[in-house]
Amino acid sequence: MVNGQELSADSSLIRFKTGFSEYMSYSQVKRSFPMNMGYPLLYARTASLGVEYMRQGKKAGHIFNGEIFIPSALNSDNGTGSDFLLQEEGSYWFRSDAGYRMRMSLMRTGDLRIYHGIATGMLFEQRKLNYQSSDSEITTDLNIYLGPSLQAVFTVNEDWQLSGGFDALFYLPYLNYGKISKMDMSANEFYSTSYHGFYYQTSFSFSVRYRRLMLTLIKNDMAGYASQQYGFDKEGMVHFKLDRICSVKLSLEL
């Protein structure tokens, strides 16, 4: 996620990040729009590491970023704090992301600057549900995303800067690949198929930067479904996402 940095042309910077995130995957209690996200839900808490390289060109800034979440145990909540679904051991969630962002100045007024641009990248996500019977389901997604991006940066003074931004990212079935496998309690695979996801993701962020340190809060929502065939037909749907990831990240600029 890009956050406030004014660079002169042909200059660059590198930023290392560490963070803590909470992943929540909700059930589709109501499936017609607008959908209701509810119980039972799956959740995980994990740390992440990331790096960002930013280079400012004459007209546009180019930001390359990579992030990896530490694989974490997955639990469920039925609505009253009980986990009737999963065994904590063997259930996990993992995610990593490599992205590129191009940003250009949209407008400037006083100390407020607004940027616009595009974001694209590749997301890898894997989740294993190890049910209490020891039956299990693994889903693995490799998705390409693309979408517009907007950022506002307010410079308080030489040391302090506030910024906020959001991305609207589209994952089209023709650019995505996933695989789902179901195993019985003896770990014999009895069902497996590929799928192609149609997802929509929004990402809101707010950052406070003090000199080389930056604290960022991010809310990342993702909704959609995946079917066995390419396209948007829901027949043969094998997977869905109604996910929210809330993160807090600390960055250090070199």
Partner 1 sequence: MKHKILKYYFCLLVITISSCTDFIAEKDLQPEWEVIESNRIVLHYRSPGFSNEASPTIDEAYFILHNQELYYRAVCDSINRDYSDRVLIYLFNSDEADERTGTASGGHSIPKLNAFYFSFFHHPREYTDKYGVEKPFLGAHELVHVITHQTLGYPGTRLMSEGYANWLDGSYARYDIPDIIISYRNNNPEKIMNPDELLNDTDRDESVYYPNAGLFTGFLVNTYGIENINRLFNCGRGDLISDFENICYDSWVDMTEKYSAYIEDL
* Residues of this chain that bind partner 1 (CB under 8 A): 26-42, 76, 78-80, 82, 84-85, 106-107, 114, 116, 129, 131-133, 135, 137, 147-150, 166-168, 180, 182, 190-191, 193, 200, 202, 204, 221, 223, 228-229, 235-240, 242
CA distance 183 to 137: 6
CA distance 241 to 199: 8
Q: Closer CB to partner 1, residue 121 or residue 224? A: 224
In whole angstroms, the minimum distance from the beta carbon of 229 to partner 1 comes to: 7
Letter for the amino acid at 52? E
Q: Closer CB to partner 1, residue 57 or residue 79? A: 79
Q: Closer CB to partner 1, residue 154 or residue 166? A: 166
Find where tokens 């959609």 sit: 224
Given a contact cutoff of 8 angstroms between Cβ atoms, the answer to whether 68 and 62 are in contact is: no
Q: Closer CB to partner 1, residue 41 or residue 123? A: 41
In whole angstroms, the minimum distance from the beta carbon of 99 to partner 1 comes to: 17
In whole angstroms, the minimum distance from the beta carbon of 89 to partner 1 comes to: 16
Q: Closer CB to partner 1, residue 30 or residue 212? A: 30
* CA-based nearest residue to 224, from 168, 149, 173, 166: 173
Given a contact cutoff of 8 angstroms between Cβ atoms, the answer to whether 83 and 77 are in contact is: yes
Within a 13 Å sphere around the CA of 95, how many CA atoms are in the beta-carbon half?
18
In whole angstroms, the minimum distance from the beta carbon of 246 to partner 1 comes to: 12
CA distance 144 to 147: 11
DSSP 128-150: EEEBTTS-EEEEEEEEEEEEEEE
Q: Closer CB to partner 1, residue 15 or residue 178? A: 178
23-47 in b/e burial notation, b at 16+ Cβ within 10 A? bbbbbeeeeeeeeebeebbbbbebe
In whole angstroms, the minimum distance from the beta carbon of 164 to partner 1 comes to: 12
In whole angstroms, the minimum distance from the beta carbon of 51 to partner 1 comes to: 25
